[in-house]
C-alpha cells in the first residue's frame, strides 16, 4: 500500500514538474518587477542594469557549464554563432531594455498586463515558423486560439478599465497612507504612458521571437543547456555594454554600491536570467514554446498582489475581472496543448498489427488488444491507456 502511494506520488511529480517549474518562474519574474521598479525610481539607468544583470548571470551559470557539460560540446559554426548572437540581441538587449524603459514610464502591474500578449505573439510566430499546426476543425486548436484571445482581452481590460477600488484587508493602512501623500506624487503623463506602452509591445515581440528561436537553438544544445545559457548571457553582456556606451555618456551611471541597485542587478541576474533561461530552455525542449509562454499571465496576478503589499498599489475591479479572464484563457491554451501532447504520444507508440481472420491483433510490444472488425469504411483510433491503443474500423 505504501509502495503504491509512493509510486503514485513520484508519477504525479514527474508529470507535473513542468507546471511547477513555470509557476515558480512567474514568482521569480514578479519579484524582479517589484525590485526593479524601486531601483529605476531611485535613478538607476536601465541600460546599466541590463549589463550588470547579465554579467552576474554569466558568472553564476558558467561554472555549471564547465563542470557538467565540458565534454561533447557542439561545434560552434557560423550558423550556430548567429543563432546565439540573435538570441542575446533579442533577450538581454532589446527585450529587457525596452521592458525596463516601459516599466519606468508605467507601473509593474501594467507592464505585466502588457506582457500577457506574449502567448498570442508566440503562437502566431510559432505558426508562421510551422512549429505549431493550426487546424480550426479540431477542438484543441480552437481552444488554443480562443484561449489566447481571451487572455489578451483580460490583459487589455485591466489596462483600459479600472472601476472601483477593491479594498484588501492587508492594504487598507497602506492605501490610506498613500492617499495622504498623493499630492506629492504625480503619475506619468499621457505621452509618457503611450511611449511606455509602445516600449512594452516591442519588448514582448522580442521576447516571443526569443522563445521561438530558442526552440531551434535547443536542438543543437539539447544536452548542453548550461552552455547555451552561458553563451547567451555572455554575448548579451557584451552587446549591452556596447549599447550603454553609445547611449549613456556620463561615467557616473556605472557606479553601484551596497544598495537597491545592487540587489536589483543580482536578483535579476541570478533568478530571472541564469536560472530562468536554463529552466525555460528545459521546458521548451519537452513542451514547446507556446506551453512555456502560456504561464505568463500568472505573473501579472502575482505582481498585483505583491504590489499592494510592497508598493501600496491599489487593485481595481477591472483588474479582478481581467485576472479571471486571463486564468480562463490560460487553462484553455493549456488544455489545447495537453491534447496535442496526448495525440503526439499516440502517434509515437510502436504498434505491430496482425490479422487473425475477422479480428485484428494490435500490440505495442508489452500489451495487446483483440478487436472485432466490421465491414464499414473508415477508422477511429482511441487511446485507452499509456500503452494500449484500440483501433476500430467502423
DSSP-assigned states of every residue in 87-142: HHIIIIIIIHHHHHHHHHHS-HHHHHHHHTTHHHHHHHHHHHTTSS---TTSHHHH
Instruction: Give me the mean pLDDT over the 281-288 stretch.
Output: 78
Whole-number Å distance between alpha carbons of 290 and 124: 10
Q: What is the pLDDT of residues 356-386, one digit of tens each?
A: 454 444 444 434 333 333 334 344 444 444 3
Q: Is the pLDDT of residue 118 over 50?
A: yes
User: How would residue 236 be classed by pLDDT, with cut points 50, 70 and 90?
Assistant: very high
Q: Which three cell numbers, joined as nine digits, stand for 175?
A: 492605501
Q: Which three cell numbers, joined as nine digits, stand for 274?
A: 541564469
Q: What is the pTM of this model?
A: 0.71
Q: Which three cell numbers, joined as nine digits, stand for 54?
A: 547579465
- pLDDT, residue 350, reads 55
Whole-number Å distance between alpha carbons of 203 and 294: 17
User: How would residue 349 be classed by pLDDT, with cut points 50, 70 and 90?
Assistant: low
Q: Which three cell numbers, joined as nine digits, stand for 208?
A: 516571443
- pLDDT, residue 52, reads 92
Lowest mean pLDDT among 6-20, 93-107, 349-363: 349-363
- pLDDT, residue 29, reads 86
> Which is more confident, 352 or 131?
131
- pLDDT, residue 11, reads 79
- pLDDT, residue 238, reads 95
Nearest alpha carbon to residue 88 among 117, 54, 122, 65:
54
Q: What is the pLDDT of residues 129-188, one digit of tens each?
A: 777 777 778 888 888 888 888 877 877 776 677 678 777 655 555 444 444 444 344 455
Instruction: Give me the mean pLDDT over the 110-130 stretch.
Output: 77
Whole-number Å distance between alpha carbons of 289 and 281: 9
For 377, the 3-state DSSP assignment is coil
Q: Which three cell numbers, joined as nine digits, stand for 73?
A: 560540446
Q: Is the pLDDT of residue 322 over 90?
A: no
User: How would residue 314 be classed by pLDDT, with cut points 50, 70 and 90?
Assistant: low
Whole-number Å distance between alpha carbons of 172 and 344: 50
Nearest alpha carbon to residue 333 among 296, 300, 303:
296
Average pLDDT, the chain: 75
- pLDDT, residue 239, reads 95
- pLDDT, residue 332, reads 83
Instruction: Give me the mean pLDDT over the 285-302 stretch.
Output: 76
Amino acid at each position: 500500500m505504501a509502495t503504491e502511494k509512493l509510486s503514485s506520488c513520484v508519477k504525479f511529480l514527474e508529470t507535473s514538474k513542468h507546471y511547477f517549474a513555470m509557476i515558480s518562474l512567474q514568482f521569480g519574474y514578479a519579484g524582479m518587477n517589484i525590485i526593479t521598479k524601486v531601483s529605476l525610481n531611485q535613478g538607476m539607468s536601465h541600460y546599466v542594469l541590463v549589463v550588470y544583470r547579465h554579467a552576474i548571470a554569466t558568472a553564476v551559470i558558467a561554472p555549471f557549464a564547465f563542470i557538467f557539460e565540458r565534454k561533447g560540446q557542439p561545434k560552434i559554426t557560423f550558423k550556430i554563432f548567429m543563432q546565439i548572437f540573435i538570441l542575446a540581441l533579442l533577450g538581454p538587449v532589446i527585450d529587457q531594455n525596452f521592458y525596463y524603459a516601459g516599466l519606468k514610464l508605467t507601473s509593474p502591474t501594467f507592464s505585466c498586463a502588457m506582457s500577457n500578449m506574449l502567448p498570442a505573439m508566440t503562437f502566431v510566430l510559432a505558426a508562421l515558423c510551422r512549429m505549431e499546426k493550426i487546424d480550426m476543425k479540431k477542438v484543441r486548436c480552437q481552444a488554443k486560439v480562443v484561449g489566447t484571445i481571451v487572455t489578451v482581452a483580460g490583459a487589455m481590460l485591466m489596462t483600459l478599465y479600472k472601476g472601483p477600488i477593491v479594498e484588501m484587508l492587508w492594504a487598507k493602512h497602506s492605501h490610506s497612507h498613500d492617499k495622504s501623500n498623493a499630492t506629492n506624487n504625480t503619475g506619468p503623463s499621457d505621452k509618457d504612458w503611450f511611449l511606455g506602452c509602445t516600449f512594452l509591445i516591442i519588448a514582448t515581440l522580442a521576447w516571443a521571437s526569443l522563445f521561438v528561436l530558442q526552440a531551434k537553438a535547443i536542438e543543437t544544445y539539447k544536452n548542453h543547456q548550461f552552455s547555451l545559457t552561458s553563451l547567451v548571457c555572455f554575448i548579451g553582456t557584451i552587446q549591452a555594454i556596447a549599447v550603454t556606451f553609445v547611449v549613456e555618456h556620463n561615467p557616473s551611471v556605472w557606479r553601484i554600491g551596497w544598495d537597491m541597485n545592487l540587489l536589483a542587478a543580482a536578483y535579476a541576474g541570478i533568478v530571472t536570467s541564469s536560472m530562468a533561461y536554463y529552466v525555460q530552455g528545459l521546458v521548451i525542449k519537452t513542451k514547446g514554446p507556446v506551453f512555456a509562454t502560456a504561464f505568463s499571465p500568472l505573473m501579472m496576478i502575482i505582481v498585483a498582489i505583491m504590489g499592494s503589499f510592497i508598493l501600496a498599489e491599489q487593485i481595481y475591479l477591472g483588474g479582478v475581472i481581467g485576472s479571471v479572464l486571463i486564468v480562463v484563457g490560460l487553462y484553455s491554451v493549456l488544455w489545447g496543448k495537453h491534447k496535442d501532447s496526448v495525440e503526439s504520444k499516440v502517434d509515437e507508440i510502436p504498434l505491430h498489427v496482425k490479422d487473425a481472420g475477422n479480428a485484428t491483433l494490435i500490440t505495442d510490444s508489452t500489451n495487446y488488444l483483440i478487436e472485432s472488425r466490421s465491414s464499414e469504411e473508415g477508422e477511429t483510433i482511441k487511446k485507452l491507456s499509456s500503452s494500449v491503443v484500440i483501433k476500430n474500423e467502423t
